[in-house]
Every structure is written in structure tokens, then in C-alpha cells.
Chain A
Amino acid sequence: MFERYSRQILFAPIGEEGQKKIRSKHVLMIGAGALGSGNGEILVRAGVGRLTLVDRDYVEASNLQRQLLYTEADAAEKMPKAVAAERRLRAVNSDVDVRGIIGDATPDLMEELVGDVDLIIDATDNFETRMVMNDIAQKYNIPWVFGACVGSFGMSFPIIPGKTPCLNCLLKSLPLQGMTCDTAGIIAPAVQMVAVHQSAEALKILTENWDAVRTTFVSFDLWRNQYTSIKMSRAKDDGCLSCGPERTYPYLDRENQSKSTVLCGRDTVQIRPPRKQDIDLQSLGRQLRALHYEVKGNPYLLSVELEENRLVIFNDGRALVHGTKDVAQARAIYQRILG
């Protein structure tokens, strides 16, 4: 039964015991884009017991350069990533109970899913969801592995409740207008490098090799040949509202989530960020034009033409997504551009 895992079992720190542990574990993966492709394939091939993946998006041609689970046919059919990923991963390893869920990873959905989850993999593309994931992980005492990238730059850090600092300790607040793959581009090796860092930590966590779990925050730039490991012993914030003694899990609070409203009869969704922002529309416009997006603007707003939608962004971070009534799709489009 373990023949297909023989090489992994030969690896001493895993062995047969480790393989049994991997087999008994349930992983929740939030996102099934490029990081999700890398992590999902490695964990499914490794023989994890169950993999639940959540994604709200569908496959597009511009994904194929780096999202290894998908094909031209998936893009042509605009297949939801959760469906295409589930199909592909089941074909890779029929031992694994793979379940793809088409949906937005809201606090409600995540609370519903984490019941018997042993590990959460961050394969998302925005910090709002990561902060929710961070609070969920702390609340339910589940390890999770942060990973993110843009251009040729990537970073990763395993977060173990009760042991390591959490994402809120590191960032203190929701980063505004982070760089995204849709505004600054991305090369496939950078995502793969993040995914391998994440999945290596995942294997250590799933096999309960706790002493081997990395304690440093790693970041690298594959184009500039830089690799940095930062010691995190001083990063834990005792006053942290996500993991400190006075915790409130702020990102599970509806007040701190972006608000989406379908505007009746206009085929438009309005997105309002959790707090007022001050977006530099001019520089965002320049960035997007450089990437050949059709952009129009005035001092008050920026209008970006996308394949089937138009995104209108206001200086305070509010945006209108035209051409859809689907809130999840609108949020996906918004976060693709604004992070």
C-alpha cells in the first residue's frame, strides 16, 4: 500500500510512522492559484489523508504561465479553479480525499471548515484573507504556513499558535495596497520557491517533526540572488489582539471586513475596504498602463478596463466592479489589482 510512497518513507525523518501520520491528516488550503498548485500537488503526491481547497476564481489564460494544475482547456471553459484543481489532484492520487469548494474564504466559511483540520496552507493572494486565516488559526489552535510573492521576490513563515509570533504581530495592521501579481507581474520560479518552502514546513508539521520546523522568516529575490533568514525571537507582540492574552480576533469581526454590495440593476458590485485608504491613483495608473491595461483617470478616480469587467477605483479605496453581480468575483477582481 505504501509502495508509491517508498522514497518518502526511506527519508529517515519521515519513515513509516511519518507516512502514517501524513495519511491521517487533513489540510485546508485557502486559494488554488499558483501557490495552491504547487502546495496542492506536493501534498497530494505525498499522500495526505484529506485536502480541502477553497477558491472563488476561474481559470484564465494569464494563469497558465505559473499555475501548474491547469490547462488550456480549463481556461477556454473558464473552469472554476476549485473544480479543475480537485479533478486534477484526484487524478494524481486517488488515495487522497480531495474536496474543492467554490467560494470566498470568509470567516464564516473558514469556521465551518476548520473542524478537524490539522494544518492550513496560505495560497491566497491578499492580506485581508490572510489576516482572517491568522485569526482562525489562533482561535482553533491550528498551525498555518504563510507564503506570498510578487515579481521575483517571495517570503514564507510557518506560524504555530502558542509558539511563534503570528502574522498580526509582524504586520500590526492590514497592509495597504500591497504589490500584487496583477500589478507588478510574477515569474513562475518565485511562486514555486515559496510553495516549496511552505510544503517542506507542511511535511514537518504533518509528521510532527516539530524540532525541524523553521523558526526564521525567509525572504528571497531569485532575480537578484538574495536569500535572507530573519530571526523572529523578538517578533512576538504581547499586546497582539490575534494571539496575545487579551485577544479579540479582530479580523473575524464584521466591522474589519471589506463590505461588498450589489448595486441593483446596474450589473455592478461596490467594494468598500474595512478602513479608509489613501491610494495614490496616479502611480497605480502608471503601473497598470505599463502592463498594457487600458486605464482612464481623473484626480478622483481611476477606471481600468479588464477582459469582461471595468474596475473603477476611488482615492479612499472604494471601488465599483462593473459587469458582474457576483460578489465573490468582484472581490477577486478588486484584490487582484489592489492586494
Chain B
Amino acid sequence: MKPPTQRAVFLARTTYRQRRLRDALRMLPILGVVLWLTPLLWGADETGSSRTGSAFVFVFTVWVLLIVLSAIFARFLSPDEQAEGES
């Protein structure tokens, strides 16, 4: 026997989602910085393969990732900024 599902316990569900979406948006550049600085940690080349080639692929992959995430967030971010301001 289950208790009846409690719907809408938290009434401002949409605004809550919007605020978390903005949090995610805020995190994007931080994610970008962290990822784009990692190639610096790559050690000296021991296998003989091109590190510049890998770095090239890596940098552009991160770039595409950021663009896609940013586009997704922008898509779901509500244009009216009623719940402006603080979380």
C-alpha cells in the first residue's frame, strides 16, 4: 500500500528549475576553463605520437561541447526574467 502521491509539494517548481538552469549556465565557463587548462598537465611525449594533434582534437571537442550545452540552456531559459535575481 502506497500513500497517495503528493503532487506539487513545492509550488514554484518551474521557477526552481529556472534558477538551477541559471546555475548550470553560470558553471559553463568554469567547466570550460578547467577543461581547456588540462592539456597543460599532459606530460612529455613518451609514445612518440603527436601531442599537438591530440590537443587540437581535444580543444575543439571541448569547444563543441560548450557550444551545444550553451545552446541547450539558452533553449530552455525562459525569456521573461520574472524570477530575476537571487536564488
Q: Do A and B bind each other?
A: no
Residues of B near any A CB (own CB < 8 A): none
